[in-house]
């Protein structure tokens, strides 16, 4: 069986500030010799966001990446399914603000084996790396919590 080539998956929202995520993800993909795939999930009743996506298309074309647009009211599951479908080896997202939506946490729960790189507005990378549950249990048992 020929395994599908893995990719660097970049999750964006329909706003021009996400161009930085496309650029950062494209660089990571090039460094890892993988293709970059962009995913954006728009809620079905929020069609005005389509116009905001036009700002990102120039960046998509400049970086020669594929962009996939989904209309669904459950962005966590839709994004996780896309990551599995495209065989994502790493996920790139923005860094959540003070009132984060829980998106990153939910995606990490659904895909605990895929590293997530969050990129803030200063292009600083923050990583959520996979871990084995057995390692967590070992760590808990080695620490005296009493």
Looking at the domain covering 7-142, what would its CATH class be? alpha beta
pLDDT tens, residue by residue, 6-44: 999 999 988 888 889 999 999 999 999 999 999 999 887
**How far apart are alpha carbons 113 and 128 in whole angstroms?**
10
pLDDT tens, residue by residue, 83-133: 999 999 999 999 987 766 789 999 999 999 999 999 999 999 999 988 777
What residues does 128 pair with on adjacent strands?
116
**How far apart are alpha carbons 128 and 146 in whole angstroms?**
28
Secondary element (H or E) of residue 116? strand 116-119
**pLDDT at position 26:** 94
């Amino acid at each position: 069986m020929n395994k599908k080539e893995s990719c660097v998956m970049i999750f964006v929202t329909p706003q021009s500030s996400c161009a930085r995520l496309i650029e950062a993800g494209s660089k990571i993909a090039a460094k890892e010799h993988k293709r970059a795939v962009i995913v954006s999930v728009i809620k079905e009743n929020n069609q005005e966001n389509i116009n905001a996506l036009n700002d990102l298309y120039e960046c998509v074309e400049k970086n020669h990446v594929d962009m996939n647009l989904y209309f669904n009211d459950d962005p966590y599951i839709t994004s996780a399914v896309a990551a599995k479908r495209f065989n994502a080896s790493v996920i790139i997202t923005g860094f959540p603000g003070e009132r984060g939506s829980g998106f990153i946490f939910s995606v990490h729960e659904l895909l605990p084996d895929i590293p997530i790189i969050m990129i803030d507005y200063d292009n600083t990378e923050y990583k959520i790396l996979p871990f084995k549950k057995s390692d967590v249990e070992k760590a808990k048992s080695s620490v005296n919590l009493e």
